[in-house]
Amino acid sequence: MNSKPDHTIRKWLRLRKEMSIGFYLSDFLFRKILRQNSGVSWAIHHTATIHCADKIIKGKNVFPGDSPGVYINAINGIRIGDYSNIGPNVGLLSANHNFIDNDAFDRAKPIIIGKHCWIGKDANILPEVELGDFTIVGAGAVVTKSFKEGYCVLVGNPARIIKELNQKECLDFATKKQQS
């Protein structure tokens, strides 16, 4: 069986090879026909919810919402660096409801997620949090404050550093990734 035509079609349509055709058909049905998450300009999982997609700035190879159950509230903006991944059921919450008027959202600085980050399953990133490059957020963590230095593994509620990553190894990896 020749995979060349499939590869050519995927390239022409800009479809990611790690995602099945079923993913794209489901995305088309929910986003284009049923108009669920219709403001999102990239393919997402049909169980993801993204508010204010136009306020998300995403880097190279970043597809927020391609995992099931992701909830993104980008009212105050979200920036996600190159090659960062967001796992299933993650919450990115750039705004809190006002304490007095529950119909209003408080203004806040945007969430910033660095390059080569991984946000694990069921983690939550709260308003104004900034994560530096190569930050890994463990499953179920609740990140309430910034870790701008990056190169670390965060776990818990509230999240705390449990491991520092070797910055030279991370930068060598990033250089190789860019060259490939």
> What does the buried/exposed string (b/e) look like for 107-136 if buried means 16 or more CB atoms within 10 Å of the residue's CB?
ebebbbbbbbbbbbbbbbbbbbbbbbbbbb
Which residues are catalytic, by number?
A: 97
Residue 37 lies in a domain: no
Number of domains in the chain: 1
Residue 23 lies in a domain: no
Residue 1 lies in a domain: no
Task: Give the global pTM.
Answer: 0.87
Is the model's pLDDT at 19 over the cut of 90? no
Residue 127 lies in a domain: yes
**Per-residue model confidence (pLDDT) at position 1:** 46
Most confident by average pLDDT, 8-12, 22-26, 31-35, 82-86: 82-86
Question: What is the per-residue pLDDT across 114-131, written as a single tens digit (0 to 9) for each?
Answer: 999 999 999 999 999 999
Cα 22 → chain centroid? 21
Which structural domain range is residue 106 located in? 45-179
Peptide bond into 88 cis (omega under 30): no
Residue 54 lies in a domain: yes
Is the model's pLDDT at 40 over the cut of 50? yes
Looking up residue 131, the CATH number of its domain turns out to be 2.160.10.10
**Per-residue model confidence (pLDDT) at position 11:** 62
Question: What is the per-residue pLDDT across 129-165, written as a single tens digit (0 to 9) for each?
Answer: 999 999 999 999 999 999 999 999 999 999 999 999 9
Most confident by average pLDDT, 34-38, 42-46, 81-85: 81-85
Residue 145 lies in a domain: yes
* 80-99 mean pLDDT: 96
Residue 167 lies in a domain: yes
Cα 51 → chain centroid? 13
How many angstroms separate the CA atoms of 106 and 179, rounded?
42
**Per-residue model confidence (pLDDT) at position 21:** 83
